[in-house]
Amino acid sequence: MDSRRQKTLLIDPGARVRVWCKECGRELSDPISRQRQLGAECDPEPRTGYDRHDVDQDPIPGL
């Protein structure tokens, strides 16, 4: 083989790209934080209530 030929780079296609917070520089693991590139503490938009699911219930008899 030709000794001047560049070696093939092996890149793991399943590896996750590392994302850091724009404000504090910490590495992010939460999917929403990774999309926004802001950690939960640095993000100005509140994150409470996203997973909340209220259900109308019948009253308990006798109360």
At residue 53, the pLDDT reads 65
At residue 40, the pLDDT reads 85
Is residue 33 a contact partner of residue 39, using CB atoms and an 8 Å limit? yes
Is residue 39 a contact partner of residue 28, using CB atoms and an 8 Å limit? yes
Structure confidence by residue, pLDDT tens digits, 6-62: 777 777 767 778 999 999 999 999 888 999 999 988 988 877 655 566 778 888 888
- Provide the phi-psi class of 37: left if phi over 0, else alpha when psi is between -120 and 50, else beta: left
Q: What is the pLDDT confidence band of residue 1, given thresholds at 50, 70 and 90?
A: low
